[in-house]
Structure 1
Amino acid sequence: MTTNTTYDVTIIGGGPAGLFAAFYSGLRGLKTKIIEFQPYLGGKVHVYPEKMVWDVGGVPPLSGAKLIEQMVEQGLTFDPTVLLNTKVTSITQDESKIFHLHTSESVTHTTKTVIVAIGGGILQPQRLELNNIHHFEQTNLHYLMKPLAYFKDKDVLISGGGHSAIDWAAELEPFVNKIYLTYRGENFKGHERVTEQLLSSKKVASFFETTITNFTSSQSGDTIEQVELTETKTNKKHTLSIDDVIVHHGYLRDKSLLQDSPLPIKLHDDYFIEGSSSSESSIDGVYGAGDILHHDGKLHLIAGAYQDAANAVNMAKKYLDPEAAKGAMVSSHNNRLKQKNKIIIEQQMKKWDIGD
């Protein structure tokens, strides 16, 4: 099935680059759609919601969760169409130069230009290979970190011994009652100083060369109450009573979109879009933004993703309308934002009870 509406710009990916591209595309008056594989916008920032982000220009340090909130608010300023839980599997182009984005739902979306903003690829956490545990993901089995306040005074098991798992444990340690760390290796791979601090904490108990082998659920069957750990060499078992389980065994990266698409987009290292500093790809009408884009002088920061996004939109605008300006007017002079500014000022005046 093919959708009826052909958009000016369709952005694949709803992380920092994709959201800023949506904002800038709306600023330039383009009909815009975002297609995101995950059930939420914000991209990889969801991996570190509690960490403080310092390197976004003009923004004081703020948590990853707050940054997501603000990016989403800005990205939706001009009401783009947003599709979540949707995986784009390939990109084709017809004789009239319209692009067709094919999805795993067997729905095809048509668009005049495409901005690929998928970061390092679709990230899917590596899940535990135990039977009949998916329903616990709705309660107390977590593959992404929740706000620290959620874990206050709880007994928490963390499975994993890499940098992210150890960092999560370090952030939780001041707030929880107890942390159990289980890792299949002999030693944690986190930063040495962080690891030493964790191992010296009375709140932390570590189990090396162990794996999770079973869960015991509550009477209702909805939540995990006990975890069975098994030592890989001796088969000795440990049973722990817990409130929550956090699993960080790394991520699987789905790289199939560009590699499998019939559209011959030139790639760097068989994955990244081989592009220009203006975010162009080897295909007219297809652009890259964020970590997926490679070019000399590439800046791998959120600030760099924003620049890529604005460049991509500007090139898309020129592709659609060769007579268009190379860039949008600054926000203070933009007519669309002037109207929104007026609404904001009127709301503030009402809040402050200021008359005309």
Structure 2
Amino acid sequence: MHDVTIIGGGPAGLFSAFYSGLRNMKTKIIESHPYLGGKVHVYPEKMVWDVGGLPPLPGQQLIDQLIAQGTTFDPDLVLGVKVTSVKKVDEVFLVETEDGSEHWSKTVILAVGGGIIEPKKLEMEGAEAFEVSNLHYTVPSLQRFKEKRVLISGGSHSSIDWANEMAGLHADVHLVYRKEELKGHEASIDLLVEQGVHLHEQSSIHALAANESGDRIESVVLEHVDAGITSIPVDEVVVSHGFNRDASLLDSSPLPLARVDNFYVKGNAQSSSSIPGLYAAGDILHHEGKLHLIAGAFQDAANAVNQAKQHVAPDADPRAMVSSHNERLEEHNKKLKQIRMSTN
């Protein structure tokens, strides 16, 4: 029996694990993917600016640091297994997974972000054949696109950022989007123009033309609202049309959990839900004043753990002692000082 089981191993889940360890709680993380880090894996080379106290750093470095912090107190990890339902049995929780396992816990923290996410794929016959060559739904390495002819389909912030970063690597970039205007930061859109990115508004991919051997996309046929059909030769194609989210966990759980838009957990600023002992952190949590930033997920996590601690031990302090005075960190601080001294 665990004190707290955290469903989701992204930023909110990892900080929840760190904070619950700080509060001396027996902790478990269950993550559907075979790795920790959550959605940040979608942009491992993208610079992340919105974490307080940290200079801008690549997504992968942030993942590494989140994992190092989140596993400080050795939580039990269950990776690569999807949670199928959460039930309450005699005032404790039964978390069931698709492999038939049962996980019992005194409290549960939902940290599933936007749900289990998968990129929306190009709905075009035969497109999947190019996924092994030059059709991409994520950008794990920007260097692949250096000095290439690249077409990006999508008008999201990620599309704009990728276009700018690839243009900075001397790629010849075409950005294709359905609307008349891009919705993004003004400075980022201005940079597209400054770097010579070709903008194709009110346009969409009409067809993919393969090379002679049929194993790569050689050109992309675009359909424009006002300009008919054009063809653009390419080396690489990136499709950034958003993500499909899987809400089956909450849909299939028998708990009378209050939700917003039939998806998000309706909670409060203390990360509590309508079910005693069940809390939420990160993007899955909804309440007035909710901050949808990684920094906001950290606050959600600390609040959720504090609520869980008091649920398990009603006489416990409502908040953990700050890290600079916390006895749980004294031994870790000694080790860190020894490492720093040995490297100087």
Match of 1:351 in 2: 343
Match of 2:29, SS?
strand
For residue 54 of structure 2, what is the aligned residue in structure 1?
A: 59
Q: CA deviation at 1:247?
A: 0.9
Q: Is the 8 A contact 1:89 1:103 kept in 2?
A: yes
Q: 1:113 to 1:136 in 2, by over 3 A?
A: farther
In the alignment, which of 242, 253, 256 is matched to residue 250 of structure 1? 242
1:326 aligns with 2:318: yes
2:11 matched to 1:16?
A: yes
The match for 1:338 is: 330
* Cα distance, 1:314 vs structure 2: 1.7
Q: What secondary structure sits across from 1:68 in the alignment?
A: helix
Contact 2:6 2:29 in 1 (8 A): yes
Partner deviation per Cα, 1:265-289 (whole Å, 9 max, x = no partner): 1223433322233222221211111
Distance 2:137 2:78 in 1: 23
Q: Which residue among 211, 214, 224 is the counterpart of 2:205? A: 211
Percent identical: 49
Say whether 1:273 aligns with 2:265.
yes
Q: CA deviation at 1:252?
A: 1.6
Greater displacement, 99-108 / 111-120: 99-108
Q: Which amino acid aligns with 2:4?
A: V
Equivalent residue in structure 2 for 1:306, among 298, 301, 307: 298
* Pairing of 1:92-241 with structure 2 (within 5 A): 92-95=87-90, 97-130=91-124, 134=128, 136-137=130-131, 140-183=134-177, 185=178, 187=180, 189-191=182-184, 194=188, 198=192, 202=196, 204=198, 206=200, 209-211=203-205, 213-214=207-208, 216=210, 224=216, 226-229=218-221, 231=223, 238=231, 240-241=233-234
- TM-score, reference length from structure 1: 0.81
| Kept after mapping to 2: 8 A contact 1:88/1:103 | yes
Confirm or deny: 8 A CA contact 2:43 2:140 kept in the other structure: no
1-structure distance, mates of 2:109, 2:212: 47
Return 271-280 or 12-21, whichever deviates more: 271-280
AA paired with 1:174? G
Q: How many matched pairs?
A: 342
Once the two structures are overlaid, the 10-residue window that deviates more, 123-132 or 258-267, is 123-132
**Partners of 1:349 and 1:265 in 2: CA distance:** 51
Structure 2 residues without counterparts, runs of 5 or longer: none
Contact 1:36 1:87 in 2 (8 A): yes
Consecutive unaligned residues in structure 1, runs of 5 or more: 1-5
The Cα of 1:25 is off from its aligned counterpart by 1.1
Letter in 2 for 1:238: S
Whether 1:262 aligns to 2:257 is no
d(CA) in 2 for partners of 1:79, 1:154? 44
Q: Which residue of 1 aligns with 2:21?
A: 26
1:48: how far off? 4.3
